[in-house]
Amino acid sequence: MITITKDNIIPYLKEHIPSFDDSVPVHVSMIGEGSEEEDGDGYVNHIFRVDNGKDSYVLKQGLSTARVSGETMDMMRNHLEYDVMRIRYSIVPEYTPYLVFLDEENHLFVMENVSDLKISRFQFNKNRIYEDYGRQCGECAAKSEFYTSEIYLDREAFRKLICRFDNTPMRKIMEDGMFLDMFDRPIDDQFGEGFEEFAERFSRDSRYVTELHKLRRSYMTHTDALIHADYHTSNILVSDDAMKVIDMEFSFIGPFGYDIGYLAGNLISQYCAACFKPFPSEEERKTFKAYLLATIKSMYYTYFLTFTDCWNKDCKPRYRDQNGLRRSILDEVMVDSVGYASMVNWFRSASNIPYPDFDAIEDKNARRCAVVLSLLIDWQIMFSRYQYQSAGDLIDTILYVERNFYKNLK
């Protein structure tokens, strides 16, 4: 097996892509050499960009240990990710990078380089507005899920999909770490006296822990569709007129709505950060906050609308007139996705893992206020979600908690 480096990557590409021109200057960079804003975290895989001015590729290799932590990793994860991307490209090519080839022996694949797009998390940290973001994210998730579900696929094909994308090694990281273990770890103490006690009072509360276990059970047992399972703002690249989704090594056959819930949690954290980080003017703060709430609402609305359109057009005959079943599925998505949003936002906000949404706030007191507001929202939406009928109800809760938080601050 060959381990790709900056020194051997050009001859490697020439061997597999004979048309690649290395007679001209070729720029090679490795993810992790640039800033987090340019590269994302790049903690796990060895990822290279190669550009000769005409052709531009990304090579992603998964070794037996994570690039940064050295933690032992499953060697087959990139094979699975390649297959996931191939399926998603057949469904939503406008949102999926084009694949060039898979090298099974060396556990790597090559795809188009989409670094002309920007990591949406860090653009939101700069208060950038992408008007179509919510619609694009909702459409991408709904189509990807519907067309990999049993509602569309014949039974044999769906069962094969379940077996192919079991992904136990990577799922375990989320099933244990995301839902449970993170809530047993020490709370981040960067916010001074009282914060640890405040956060632990919620995260150790038996009622909240019960909700986590209920959500984990759904995550582990609902075989609805092929989900991304790491659908957050660092894995969504954007420009004013395009969007691409990357990093699919956690994908498996999981519950409808997990992905939009995960992303909603990220957008809530951005909203809370926007309440306290500096803006050129209060009017610009107000505009950006309104944009984030509108984006959450648009994502849910588009997901439901797109899922319904796909159902009406392409569901199997036995489901053709089962509108009650469709409504039941989407009601479940509304409730469970908000629980996932609460869970993922909570563990990132209160743990010691870097969370750029809040880390971008330089003033410590302002950062503390943003995180506390986020945790209060997470708590409230976890229990209020059972009454939600639309994203508008979620938005109402966010605004309600924010108003009361300001009152207490005063």
* CATH assignment at residue 393: 3.90.1200.10
pLDDT digit string, tens, across residues 64-119: 766 555 676 777 889 999 999 999 999 999 999 999 999 999 999 999 999 899 99
Identify the burial level of 391 via C-beta atoms within 10 angstroms of its C-beta, where 0-12 means exposed, 13-18 middle and 19 or more buried. buried
Residues 329 and 256: their CA atoms lie apart, in Å, by 8
Is residue 137 one of the residues assigned to a domain?
Answer: yes
Kindly state the greatest CA–CA separation across the chain. 67
Instruction: Assess whether 34 and 140 both reside in one domain.
Output: no
H or E element, residue 244 = strand 243-245
Half-sphere exposure of 283 (CA within 13 A, CB side): 0
Nearest in space to 28 (alpha carbons), one of 1, 67, 59: 59
Q: Is the pLDDT of residue 306 over 60?
A: yes
d(CA 79, CA 83): 6
Same domain, 129 and 49: no
In a domain, 338, yes or no: yes
pLDDT of residue 67: 59
CATH code, domain with 62: 3.30.200.20
CA angle 167, 186, 375 (to 5 degrees): 80
Q: What pLDDT score was predicted for residue 185?
A: 64
Q: Are residues 213 and 262 in the same domain?
A: yes
Mean pLDDT of the chain: 92
Pair 103, 128 in one domain: no
d(CA 178, CA 191): 22
Final residue belonging to a domain, choices 112, 140, 160: 112
Is 49 within the bounds of a domain? Answer: yes
- For 251-289, what is each residue's pLDDT tens digit? 999 999 999 999 999 999 999 999 999 999 999 999 999
pTM for the predicted model, two decimal places: 0.94
Residues 99 and 158 occupy one common structural domain: no
In this prediction, residue 11 carries a pLDDT of 95
* Residues 163 and 63 placed together within one structural domain of the fold: no
pLDDT in the model for residue 85: 97
Task: Mark whether 72 and 173 lie in a shared domain.
Answer: no
pLDDT of residue 136: 98
Domain-located, residue 169: yes
Which of 30-39, 284-293, 299-308 has the lowest average pLDDT? 30-39
Confidence of residue 173 (pLDDT cuts 50, 70, 90): confident
Amino acid type, 100? V
> Within its chain, how far is the Cα of 13 from the centroid?
30
The percent helix, strand, coil of the chain (3-state, each to 5) is 55, 10, 35
Contacts of 130 (CB under 8 A, 6+ apart): 120, 123, 238, 239, 240
Please tell me whether residues 57 and 137 are part of one structural domain.
no
From residue 383, how far is each of 77, 196, 221 by CA, in Å?
Answer: 35, 22, 22
Domain of residue 138, residue span: 118-409
Last residue of a domain, one of 112, 144, 166: 112
What is the average per-residue pLDDT within 119-137? 97
User: What percent of the chain has a predicted confidence (pLDDT) above 90?
Assistant: 77
- Domain count across the chain: 2
Contacts of 18 (CB under 8 A, 6+ apart): none
Q: Does any domain span residue 151?
A: yes
- The residue from 63, 87, 112 where one domain ends is 112
Q: Is the pLDDT of residue 217 over 90?
A: yes
CA angle 256–261–265, rounded 5-degree value: 170
pLDDT at 188: 62
Kindly state whether residues 40 and 162 are assigned to the same domain: no
Coil, helix or strand for 235?
coil
User: Do 270 and 398 have their domain in common?
Assistant: yes
Examine residue 4 and state whether it is found in any structural domain, yes or no: no
Neighbours of 52 (CB within 10 A): 18
pLDDT at 349: 78
For residues 143 and 103, state if they share a domain: no
178 and 239 assigned to the same domain: yes
Q: Domain for residue 337, yes or no?
A: yes
| Cα–Cα distance, 182 to 186 (Å, whole number) | 8
